[in-house]
A and B are shown apart, each in its own frame.
Chain A
Amino acid sequence: MSGTNTGPAYTGSYLQDYGSRRGLMAWLTTTDHKRIGIMYMVVMFSFFAIAVLLGLLIRLELMNPGLQFVTARVYNSLFTLHGVIMIFLFIVPGIPAVMGNFILPLHLGADDVSFPKLNLASWYIYMVGALMALASLFVGGGVPDTGWTFYAPYALRSNTNVSLAVLAAFVLGFSSILTGMNFITTIHRLRAPGMSFFRMPLFCWGLYATAWIQVIATPVVGITLLLVVMERSLGIGFFDPARGGDPILYQHLFWIYSHPVVYVMILPAMGVVSEILPTFSGRTIFGYRAIALSSMAIALVGYVVWAHHMFTTGISDTARWIFSLLTFLVAIPTGIKVFNWMATLYRGSIRIEVPLLYALGFVFLFSIGGLTGLVNGALATDIHVHDTAFIVGHFHYTMFGGAGIGFFAALHYWWPKVWGRMYNRKRAMWAWGLIMVGFNTLYFPMLVLGIMGMPRRYADYLPKFHTPHLISTIGSWIIFAGMALMFFNLIRAIKHGAKAPDNPWGGTTLEWQTTSPPPQLNFATPPVVTTGPYDHTALRAAAAREARP
């Protein structure tokens, strides 16, 4: 397996077209994991932008008490759409489909995923699902207004276009399953010679745990959503109390998937942070095995905590305390990760760069998200905060503060590798500052509001809630400005950025050993692995050898 390959597929950039197809057609028929990753990126961030605008509208309506801009019905559709797009189109497939596709084979030293054609098919299936979700806005009885959870019995009764939206979620789930299968097989089969499981970068471990959840949990929600469609069209009555069915059963089946899926959102982001911290601390990660195995532990325990979404539905006390206990157990592997990250920074030679700032932002925001999660996991306090703005604040801290900021961290860390260009460092830091300030201004008041008793999903509220709502809305403008600046900076870099070196951050994992951007087949010299993933000593020694005259 040694020797250097020559030829355009090994020396040029994957961004150039090879073969007979050019331009758009070359992209749409590609089986190159890097191009597929970028195709996901383009589509996902378009949807992300739409959902952000919807979020801004929600905040605008809530700025003052009373109804100013939209009716209560439109407001219901706004938060449903915001949720459906953010969850099913952006944050669940987000990091795995974009960064996972791009980075996983590079991390493993492979030239592609195990099933490249299936990978492209997953993208097309994703597109079909996305278009169905879009179509549900314009055809039939109007925009769905059930909330992203499609709870029965309302989802069975609503005259809006729930069936198509539900079917869209089913199709998107199918795409997610195929990606998961692809990644598991890739990790098992395509690691470079010498790369044992415990020499894999931690991002791969994150993706591995994620892929298992995708494969295990998604089919259950798939069949459940299909049954909702059947119920709406044929009246089969499984979840309809009028026909002997049980709406609580729907909630069980829904959360059997949808709770594990929050770990699909967060585990890859945790993997990203585990990549960034050792690079900018100039040392190996603290507690490699503990971090790797805690990802698997989170996936495992996360599968059996679903009923903590249902503490107020009248399920038995025994079920409640068992699920509460299990929920608290998830905090343990999560805590292991956070402490190991901190220990990695301790006495490292830290370089303040943009990816590190985002990674630290992740740890800060996700810690708030995690700790407020324990408030919801405890039975007594959950009764108080259930269905209040506290819940909204909590899951935005975990999903946006965690998965979202982790995604931004990944973008800033790998952008030079993806495009071969550097972004403006100073502008990126300003954007980061705005995002962090805006984030907390936007979501922290929600936690306070929830404790005060502000219910979620209401278009109107009592005057006593005004001040926190006003602060929150101002925060939404700050974070929007920050994200606009961030995307402007990143997109501008693609054309106008300075040329990026192969290894701009001094990273030790395999993707930094190939060129920026990588060639079509990733590695001119097939990599052979002899050490763990974060061996900075070897990197420094090599740099010293080169520096010697």
Chain B
Amino acid sequence: MSAVSKPMEAQAAHHEHRDDEGSKTGMWLFLFTEVLLFGGLFIIYAVYRHRFGTEFHEAAHELNKVMGVTNTFVLLTSSLTMVLSVGALQRRQVAASLRWLWVTFGLACCFLVIKFFEWSAKHHHGIWPGGEHLHSMPSGEGLFYNLYFMMTGLHGIHVLIGMVVMAVVAARISSGHINGDRFGALEYTGLYWHLVDLVWIFLLPLFYLTN
């Protein structure tokens, strides 16, 4: 959309009509689909937990509660800093907004680092989808770990996507495209981030605290 001739300009101006309410509607619909995406996995979890209660109980012993709970604090804090960033931009405090956004980014990063250590410890013991030890486990425990990796993995991908989006939004705040008058993109990033947070809040008790 670089070279713009006259009628295109008129058209662009016409298409500029902003509809914040509409954009927000779209974003909520998207979040709704995300809930349902995870919903499929939660259904599978429910079915197998019902069928293999004892095995799930046993397997959950092996997960590192300290790391799980630490990560929960990290993620909850990041939701707070995200809100602070949105609030700051709405009050036109660009520098503060950027600072809080990068803090959120850092916390997301921290979450993934902790997750990485957790996963690699499991990997070390051969507990990994397709790994040998996991293959030889009783089916209930195998399903527990496979569910654990699928659900935390999908969640991790969402964290990663969130970080990419945050970086893009931060760049656009710096360049002034996102500002105190049009902060929609930052606000929707925040909504998305809270969803990522929310999913984790369900994952923690379902996997780490079942025993």
- Please list the residues of chain A having a beta carbon within 8 angstroms of any beta carbon in chain B: 7-9, 18-20, 31, 111-112, 114-116, 118, 177, 180-182, 184-185, 188-190, 215-216, 218-220, 222-224, 227, 230, 233-238, 243-246, 249, 253, 520-521
Contacts and interface: CB of A to CB of B under 8 A. Distances in A.
Contact of A253 (B5, B43, B51, B149): B43
Interface stretch (B29-37, B61-69, B174-182, B186-194): B29-37
Interface stretch (B92-100, B137-145, B198-206): B137-145
A219 B14 contact: no
29 contacts: A8-B7, A9-B7, A9-B10, A18-B5, A19-B5, A19-B7, A20-B3, A114-B19, A114-B23, A180-B29, A181-B26, A181-B33, A189-B21, A189-B22, A219-B34, A219-B36, A219-B37, A219-B40, A222-B37, A234-B130, A235-B135, A236-B149, A237-B142, A238-B146, A243-B142, A244-B138, A244-B139, A246-B47, A521-B11
Contacts of B39: 219-220
A188 B8 CA distance: 27
Contact of B25 (A185, A219, A234): A185
Contact of B14 (A20, A185, A521): A521
A243 B130 contact: no
Given A114-B19, A234-B130, A253 B25 contact: no
B183 interface: no
B124 to A, nearest CB: 18
A181 B146 contact: no
Given A20-B5, A185-B26, A189-B21, 9 more contacts: A20-B3, A31-B15, A182-B26, A216-B32, A220-B36, A223-B37, A227-B150, A244-B138, A253-B40
Contacts of A238: 44, 48, 143, 146-147
Interface residues of B, number: 45
A116 B15 contact: yes
A235 B14 CA distance: 53
B8 A18 contact: yes
A228 to B, nearest CB: 12
A469 to B, nearest CB: 40
A12 to B, nearest CB: 9
Contact of A7 (B4, B7, B15, B23): B7
A237 B145 CA distance: 11
Given A215-B29, A219-B34, A219-B36, A520 B11 contact: yes
Given A115-B26, A184-B25, A220 B40 contact: yes
A114 B26 contact: yes
Given A19-B8, A181-B26, A222-B37, A237 B143 contact: yes
B164 interface: no
Nearest to A182: B26
Contact of A111 (B14, B40, B146, B150): B14
Contacts of A244: 48, 52, 138-140, 142-143
Contact of B130 (A9, A182, A235): A235
A187 to B, nearest CB: 10
A182 B3 CA distance: 28
Contacts of B162: none
Interface of B: 3-5, 7-8, 10-11, 14-15, 19, 21-23, 25-26, 29-30, 32-34, 36-41, 43-44, 47-48, 51-52, 129-130, 135, 138-140, 142-143, 146-147, 149-150, 154
Contacts of A177: 33
Given A20-B3, A219-B40, A220-B36, A243 B139 contact: yes
Contacts of B15: 31, 111-112, 116
Contacts of A230: 129, 150
Given A220-B39, A224-B40, A244-B140, A185 B22 contact: yes
A19 B15 CA distance: 15
B129 A18 contact: no
Q: Which 3 A-B pairs have the closest CB atoms?
A: A244-B139, A19-B8, A223-B40
A37 B176 CA distance: 35
Given A19-B8, A227-B150, A244-B52, A181 B43 contact: no
B51 to A, nearest CB: 8
A237 B139 contact: yes
Classify the interface of chain A: helix, strand, loop or mixed: helix
B196 to A, nearest CB: 16
Nearest to A216: B36
A215 B27 CA distance: 12
Given A111-B14, A237-B143, A189 B7 contact: no
B151 to A, nearest CB: 10
Contacts of A253: 40, 43-44
B4 A19 contact: yes
B191 to A, nearest CB: 14
A521 B8 CA distance: 11
A299 to B, nearest CB: 15
Contacts of A234: 129-130
A316 B129 CA distance: 32
Interface core residue of B36, B37, B52, B135 (most chain A CB under 10 Å): B36
Nearest to B17: A111
Contacts of A9: 7, 10-11, 14
A536 B139 CA distance: 67
Interface core residue of B4, B10, B40, B51 (most chain A CB under 10 Å): B40
A227 B4 CA distance: 46
Contacts of A185: 22, 25-26, 29
Contact of A215 (B32, B135, B142): B32
A325 B34 CA distance: 31
Interface core residue of A19, A31, A245 (most chain B CB under 10 Å): A19
B29 A236 contact: no
Contacts of A237: 139, 142-143, 146
A114 B18 CA distance: 10
A222 B33 CA distance: 10
B171 to A, nearest CB: 19
A31 B140 CA distance: 50
Contacts of A118: 26
A188 B129 CA distance: 44
Contacts of B139: 237, 243-245
Contacts of A111: 14-15
A224 B149 CA distance: 15
A181 B30 contact: yes
A155 to B, nearest CB: 16
A113 B150 CA distance: 36
